[in-house]
């Protein structure tokens, strides 16, 4: 009953004309950045973070959330029509989606992708409405040791699930924590690693780091080799999948939805992992696995359902615990913070309008996305034809403007360039930026909770294992760390990394 009352309150907020407009802008931009290769939800949300300041907190956050789940829809269009993923979570859709397009079945592939996304997105929002209030009640009992251990678990899982070397991913997480701690110590007011630069006293901004590592580095990587894009020229035709398509895809959608939702909740998980896991599962369960890679519609439906369900599930740790499970949610946390809000267990009681307003806006946004992605598919195909040589100067300009507007300082532009070069080199040397950015956001919270725990326990580290929730998190983190030492798991992880590459 509380949930229904909350949702009613939420719809009253989400249906306000200004919030409907922000929701539409969010899902539109999300679809656009999903469609365009070379700019993803992380860059777009960083870019628009300062824009959220011009409206109310709910409007800004509704827009940011819309960009995220909107990009999950848009990414598949590029994967299917061009064989280049619009964003990382659509990588796996290229395999069978593009093959279907080559066989003249681009329409059903696009239609199935949009409908599976809609079904999974709707399921995830309903599950979010049901699970979040319960989890928030439990989370009230969390103290510094629990928060510390949970964040440690998130970073460990993210590193475990990263492509390639786990040592490198953990190394990046450690670098991220160090970067996050630069600036004035909140307890002793001592300047830390500021090199006597006044600009660093408040720490390095999240936006320049993200725009550098994801925006500029992506452009540099795309420029350093010839980017071949060939949009399918055949007529797209009817988008509605046939009865045979539905029969083949229905269980894939269901399995992808449930799997994606739980992987989305998992700290360190997310849409990318969910889509790969769903594809692997469908291939394993298929009667004729040899069809995969040759235009199997389950290979489109499962991963697309999974990445959208994961996008919904990822809101749960942020909204109930105040802990972002992935980089995109870290940016959303940034949006909350610049509005003076702290997501977490108390948000549901202190700002129910905001919490339920965001949830309700996701129902509305999901319906908007279906309209944007089914009848307007022709428009997105035109967008895809925009040459990259025109697109990349514009993306660079938006990066600069976004970074400058976030802090009103040219210093941040130089920080962005520095991290752009670092990100480019990291890609060359096989180091992933995602653990770095998540650790950068979690770093100050991690240190704060570690110090509080040690002060509470008079320097006794057993406080982390005496508390059950903290102990469970640490055991899981230790298991994730030890897993690569087991040969079978190491082989499985290497195979996943190879698939992702």
Partner 1 sequence: MIRNSELWGGLFWLAIGAFVIWAGRDMGLGRLHQPGSGFAFYWIGILMCALALGVIGQALVSGGPPLASLWAGTRWPKVLAVIGLLLVYGVGFEAIGFIPCTLALLLALMWFVDPVDWRLAIVVAVVATFGVWAALTKWLKIQLPAGLLADILG
Binds partner 1 (CB under 8 A): choice among 447, 479, 489, 497: 447
* Minimum separation from the CB atom of position 29 to partner 1 (A): 13
Dihedral sign computed on CA atoms, order 302, 307, 308, 312: positive
Binds partner 1 (CB under 8 A): choice among 430, 475, 490, 495: 430
**What single-letter DSSP state applies at residue 467?**
S
Binds partner 1 (CB under 8 A): choice among 1, 2, 17, 188: 188
Binds partner 1 (CB under 8 A): choice among 455, 478, 482, 498: 455
Q: Output b/e per residue, 272-299; b: 16+ Cβ within 10 A.
A: bbbbbbbbbbbbeebeeeebbeebbbbb
* Minimum separation from the CB atom of position 353 to partner 1 (A): 25
Binds partner 1 (CB under 8 A): choice among 56, 165, 242, 500: 165
Q: Does residue 374 interact with partner 1 by CB under 8 A?
A: no
Place of tokens 């681009």: 106
Stretch that binds partner 1, among 57-65, 129-137, 369-377, 458-466 (CB under 8 A): 458-466
Binds partner 1 (CB under 8 A): choice among 458, 462, 485, 488: 458
Helix (H, G, I), strand (E, B) or coil at 244: helix
Which is nearer to partner 1, 418 or 479 (by Cβ)? Answer: 418
What is the residue-wise DSSP string for 120-151? Answer: HHHHHHHHHHHHHHHHHHHHTT--HHHHHHHH
What is the residue-wise DSSP string for 167-234? Answer: HHHHHHHHHHHHHHH-EE-TTT--EES-TT-GGGTT---HHHHHIIIIIIHHHHHHHTS--------S
Q: Does residue 483 interact with partner 1 by CB under 8 A?
A: no
What is the residue-wise DSSP string for 404-443? Answer: HHHHS-HHHHHHHHHHHHHHHHHHHHT--HHHHHHHHHHH
Q: Does residue 194 interact with partner 1 by CB under 8 A?
A: no
The size of the interface with partner 1 (CB under 8 A), counted in residues, is 62
Binds partner 1 (CB under 8 A): choice among 400, 434, 438, 463: 400
Q: Does residue 167 interact with partner 1 by CB under 8 A?
A: yes
Closest-CA residue to 427 (of 223, 128, 270): 223
277's tokens: 């896991």
Q: Does residue 219 interact with partner 1 by CB under 8 A?
A: yes
Closest-CA residue to 336 (of 46, 26, 57): 57
Q: Does residue 181 interact with partner 1 by CB under 8 A?
A: yes
Which is nearer to partner 1, 54 or 243 (by Cβ)? Answer: 54
Dihedral sign computed on CA atoms, order 51, 55, 57, 62: negative
- Residues 82-111, mask of contacts with partner 1 (x by CB under 8 A): ------------------------------
Q: Does residue 466 interact with partner 1 by CB under 8 A?
A: no
Binds partner 1 (CB under 8 A): choice among 27, 65, 120, 175: 175
Place of tokens 């004309």: 17
> % helix / strand / coil in the chain, to the nearest 5?
75, 0, 25
What is the rounded CA–CA span in Å between residue 64 and residue 87?
16
Binds partner 1 (CB under 8 A): choice among 118, 160, 431, 440: 431
Q: Does residue 36 interact with partner 1 by CB under 8 A?
A: no
Binds partner 1 (CB under 8 A): choice among 404, 419, 440, 464: 404
* Minimum separation from the CB atom of position 276 to partner 1 (A): 24
Stretch that binds partner 1, among 25-33, 46-54, 93-101, 148-156 (CB under 8 A): 46-54
* Minimum separation from the CB atom of position 188 to partner 1 (A): 5
Q: Does residue 363 interact with partner 1 by CB under 8 A?
A: no
| 329: CB partners within 8 A, 6+ apart | 314, 315, 317, 318
Dihedral sign computed on CA atoms, order 481, 486, 489, 494: positive
* Minimum separation from the CB atom of position 394 to partner 1 (A): 6
184 bridge partner residues:
191
- Please count the other Cβ atoms lying within 10 Å of the Cβ belonging to residue 196: 7
170's tokens: 């953990």
Q: Does residue 32 interact with partner 1 by CB under 8 A?
A: no
**What single-letter DSSP state applies at residue 493?**
H
Binds partner 1 (CB under 8 A): choice among 138, 397, 486, 490: 397
Q: Does residue 229 interact with partner 1 by CB under 8 A?
A: no
Binders of partner 1 in range 274-293 (CB under 8 A): none
Which is nearer to partner 1, 54 or 287 (by Cβ)? Answer: 54
Q: Does residue 220 interact with partner 1 by CB under 8 A?
A: yes
Positions touching partner 1 (CB under 8 A) are 50-51, 54, 165, 167-168, 170-171, 174-175, 177-178, 181, 185, 187-188, 190, 192-193, 216, 219-220, 223-226, 387-390, 392-394, 396-398, 400-401, 404-405, 408, 410, 413-414, 417, 420-421, 424, 428-431, 446-447, 450-451, 454-455, 457-460
């Amino acid at each position: 009953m509380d949930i229904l009352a909350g949702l009613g309150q939420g719809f009253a907020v989400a249906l306000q004309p200004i919030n409907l407009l922000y929701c539409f802008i969010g899902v539109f931009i999300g679809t656009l950045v999903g469609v365009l290769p070379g700019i993803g939800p992380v860059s777009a949300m960083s870019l628009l973070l300062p824009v959220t300041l011009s409206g109310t907190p709910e409007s800004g956050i509704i827009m940011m959330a819309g960009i995220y789940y909107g990009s999950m829809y848009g990414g598949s269009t590029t994967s299917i029509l061009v064989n280049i993923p619009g964003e990382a979570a659509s990588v796996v859709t290229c395999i069978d989606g593009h093959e279907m397009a080559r066989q003249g079945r681009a329409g059903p592939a696009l239609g199935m992708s949009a409908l599976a996304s809609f079904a999974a997105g709707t399921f995830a929002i309903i599950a979010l409405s049901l699970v979040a209030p319960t989890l928030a009640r439990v989370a009230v009992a969390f103290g510094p040791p629990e928060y510390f251990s949970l964040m440690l678990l998130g970073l460990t899982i993210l590193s475990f699930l990263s492509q390639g070397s786990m040592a490198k991913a953990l190394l990046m997480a450690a670098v991220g924590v160090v970067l996050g701690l630069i600036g004035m110590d909140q307890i002793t007011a001592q300047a830390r690693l500021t090199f006597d630069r006044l600009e660093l006293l408040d720490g390095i901004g999240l936006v320049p780091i993200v725009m550098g590592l994801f925006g500029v580095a992506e452009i540099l990587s795309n420029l350093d080799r010839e980017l071949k894009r060939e949009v399918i020229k055949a007529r797209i035709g009817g988008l509605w999948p046939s009865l045979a398509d539905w029969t083949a895809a229905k269980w894939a959608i269901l399995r992808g939805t449930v799997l994606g939702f739980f992987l989305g909740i998992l700290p360190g998980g997310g849409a990318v992992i969910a889509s790969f896991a769903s594809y692997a599962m469908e291939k394993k369960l298929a009667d004729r696995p040899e069809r995969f890679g040759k235009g199997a519609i389950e290979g489109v439906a499962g991963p697309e359902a999974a990445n959208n369900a994961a996008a919904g599930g990822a809101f749960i740790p942020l909204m109930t615990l105040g802990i972002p499970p992935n980089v995109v949610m870290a940016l959303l946390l940034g949006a909350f913070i610049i509005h003076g809000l702290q997501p977490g267990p108390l948000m549901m009681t202190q700002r129910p309008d905001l919490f339920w307003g965001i949830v309700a806006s996701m129902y509305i946004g999901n319906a908007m996305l279906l309209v944007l992605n089914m009848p307007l598919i022709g428009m997105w195909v035109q967008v895809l034809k925009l040459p990259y040589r025109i697109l990349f100067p514009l993306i660079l300009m938006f990066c600069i403007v976004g970074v400058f507007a976030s802090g009103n300082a040219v210093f941040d532009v130089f920080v962005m360039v520095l991290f752009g070069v670092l990100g480019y080199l990291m890609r060359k040397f096989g180091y992933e930026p995602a653990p770095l950015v998540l650790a950068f956001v979690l770093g100050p919270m991690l240190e704060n909770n570690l110090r509080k725990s040690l002060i509470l326990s008079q320097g006794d580290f057993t406080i982390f294992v005496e508390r059950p929730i903290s102990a469970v998190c640490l055991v899981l983190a230790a298991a994730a760390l030890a897993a690569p030492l087991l040969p079978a798991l190491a082989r499985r992880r290497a195979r996943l990394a190879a698939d992702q590459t």
